[in-house]
Amino acid sequence: MPKKTIADIDVRDKAVLIRVDFNVPLDGQTITDDLRIRMAIPTIQSVLDRGGRAILMSHLGRPEGKGPEPEFSLKPVAARLAELLGRSVTFATDTVGPDAQVKVQSLANGGVLLLENVRFNAGEDEKALKKKTGQANDPAYFNALAPFGDVYCNDAFGTCHRAENASMFNVPKAMTGKPKVMGFLVEKEVKYLEEAIANPARPFVAILGGKKVSDKIGVIQNLLPKCDQILIGGAMAYTFALAKGLKIGKSYAKSEDVPLAQKLLAEGAAKIVLPIDNNAFDNFVWDSYSADPSRTKVFPFGELADTFEGLDIGPGTIQRYVGIVKSAKTVIWNGPMGAFELPPFDAGTRAVAQAIADSAAISIIGGGDSAAAIEQMGFADKVTHLSTGGGASLELLEGKKFETLAILDDKS
């Protein structure tokens, strides 16, 4: 059943406790990509415009719950959020401590408060807490957070698959009798990653890249009955090559994934499209790589020389994949076609991104490296939906349901 959104709730004179995903990349104290902050603005602005006040909680990085760690502080995020909103943002130096409690109480309607990194608290990650102490959760922690809000709003799609995070699951459960809704970002993500796949315009094409077949097996199995074609790129293509008994030189492949690849090929031979050639580099070493045309060579797929490592799809594959994308009506892309960080091995990813941007198809970019590539190449505003969640996107594409969304209020 569809879930209520923040638009369905009267927030006037109410404190809305919003779980956002501000896990942004930092270079020191400088945010290098603010996409996740920008994507949260519509939900926050809706609360402010309608006379409510927004209390935001998020994680950043992977601190171990031992208390504040300056490199993982959300303080730079508060400054950037203030710039984007065009208003001041109050920052609490803790999550449930004295500073947060005072600032929650003093926050006026129209105000925004960002709490410090929830992962500074041992009680945030139940799995880690149980591993360390044997304790399943920390009621003192989530019962201290829950009273901060009159309404709970989940707008943190990137962590929707993490029910072990107290701010995603235990906090809303503890807010008995209070409205619990999704934000506009989560609503949009679910709409495209779940609903668009259920009834796609055809031809429906999925493009899957990345390293390991095991990471994508659930996605492939879920999409095979629904897609017209699944285009395979990235390092995972070489595991499929091994499954067919072909030569991959020094290309990355997981031998333990070969049976999975063989099984998928047996199930979906008519739909799974593999490269026909690869661009490779002789005796490739990532840390010492520099472009050298004399060491770069295109090989037919499955015929790589022993000292070469495949780093991108080749020109023949690019032409074939671009042609398939041009004829599609729905396109889902998750995973780059090669080592797009290292020219000239960005050519396959760039060509696919360009073809999707130029297409009139419904285009859904499933987070992670694909989203980073689309952003870097300047095509973000030319796709239908750019997901903010890597792991969460994959799990929705696998057809999984999220406990963190199931506990939200149903639309009547």
Q: Could you tell me if 213 and 322 lie in one domain?
A: yes
246-276 per-position pLDDT tens digit? 999 999 998 899 999 999 999 998 999 999 9
The phi-psi region of residue 251 (left if phi > 0; otherwise alpha if psi is between -120 and 50; otherwise beta) is beta
Look at residues 117, 151, 185 and tell me which one is the last residue of a structural domain.
Answer: 185
What backbone torsions phi and psi does residue 341 show, to the nearest 5 degrees? -75, -15
Give the model confidence (pLDDT) of 98-114 as tens digits.
999 999 999 999 999 99
Long-range contacts of 60-64 (CB under 8 A, 24+ apart): 60/22, 60/23, 60/24, 60/26, 60/117, 60/119, 61/23, 61/117, 61/119, 62/119, 63/117, 63/119, 63/120, 64/128
* Torsion sign over Cα 393, 398, 404, 405: positive
Which pLDDT score is estimated for 115? 98
What is the rounded distance in angstroms from the CA atom of residue 254 to the CA atom of residue 326?
A: 32
- 232 with 141, same domain: the answer is no
Nearest to 161 by CA among 198, 181, 137, 186: 186
**Could you tell me if 367 and 210 are in contact, meaning their C-beta atoms sit under 8 angstroms apart?**
no
Q: Which residue has the higher pLDDT, 368 or 206?
A: 206
Q: How many domains does the chain have?
A: 2
Phi, psi of 321 (to 5 degrees): -65, -40
Q: Is residue 191 part of a domain?
A: no
Strands, E assignment, 176-307: 180-182, 204-208, 229-232, 247-248, 272-273, 277-282, 296-300, 303-304
Asked if residue 373 and residue 256 are part of one domain, the reply reads: yes
Q: Could you tell me if 217 and 296 lie in one domain?
A: yes
More confident residue, 182 or 381: 182
Q: What is the mean pLDDT of residues 385-412?
A: 87
Specify whether 167 is located in the same domain as 66.
Answer: yes
Tell me the one-letter amino acid at 171: V
The per-residue pLDDT for range 140-181, each reduced to its tens digit, is 999 999 999 999 999 999 899 988 899 999 999 999 999 999
Among 152, 185, 218, identify where a domain stops. 185
Known catalytic residue at 212 = yes
Active site residue 350: no
Same domain, 231 and 105: no
Task: Share the mean pLDDT of the chain.
Answer: 92
Provide the pLDDT for residue 131: 65
| Within a domain: 64 | yes
Q: Confidence class of residue 211 from pLDDT cuts 50, 70 and 90?
A: confident
pTM, full prediction: 0.85
pLDDT band for position 366 (cuts 50, 70, 90)? confident
CATH number at residue 207: 3.40.50.1260
Domain of residue 139: give its range: 6-185
- What confidence tier does 367 reach under pLDDT thresholds 50, 70, 90? low
Both 126 and 238 in a single domain? no
Residue 406 lies in a domain: no
- 55 and 177 both lie in a single domain: yes
Domain's final residue, options 185, 209, 234: 185
Closest CA to 35 of 91, 89, 80: 80
Q: Which residues contact 90 (CB under 8 A, 6 or more apart)?
A: 78, 103, 107, 111, 112, 113, 114
Q: Which pLDDT score, from 0 to 100, does residue 129 have?
A: 62
Residue 78 lies in a domain: yes
Co-location of 343 and 294 in the same domain: yes
Q: Is position 368 annotated as part of the catalytic site?
A: yes
Kindly state whether residues 214 and 161 are assigned to the same domain: no
Residue 132, pLDDT score: 66
Active-site residue, from 3, 4, 19, 36? 36
Active-site annotation holder among 212, 216, 226, 254: 212
What integer is the mean pLDDT of 29-52? 94
Question: How many CA atoms, within 13 angstroms, populate the side-chain half-sphere of residue 407?
Answer: 20
Q: Which residues contact 108 (CB under 8 A, 6 or more apart)?
A: 53
65 is annotated as an active-site residue: no
248 lies in the same domain as 161: no
In a domain, 319, yes or no: yes
Q: Say if residue 199's pLDDT is above 90.
A: no
Half-sphere exposure of 356 (CA within 13 A, CB side): 33
283 & 380 share domain: yes
pLDDT of residue 65: 67
Q: Are 279 and 311 in contact (CB under 8 A)?
A: yes
Q: Which of 268, 368, 389, 390 is catalytic?
A: 368
68 pLDDT band, cuts 50/70/90, is confident
215 falls within a domain = yes
In a domain, 141, yes or no: yes
Identify the pLDDT of residue 134.
64
pLDDT band, very low/low/confident/very high, at 332 (cuts 50, 70, 90): very high
Sign, CA dihedral 90-57-364-343, equals positive
Closest CA to 67 of 91, 90, 97, 89: 97
Could you tell me the CA-to-CA distances from 321 to 144, 202, 205, 260, 356 in Å, in that order?
53, 16, 10, 23, 11
Q: Which two tokens stand for residue 204?
A: 């429906």
Contact 248, 310 (CB under 8 A): yes
Asked whether the beta carbons of 352 and 325 are under 8 A apart, the reply is yes
Note whether residue 195 is domain-resident: no
Tokens of 124: 């945030």
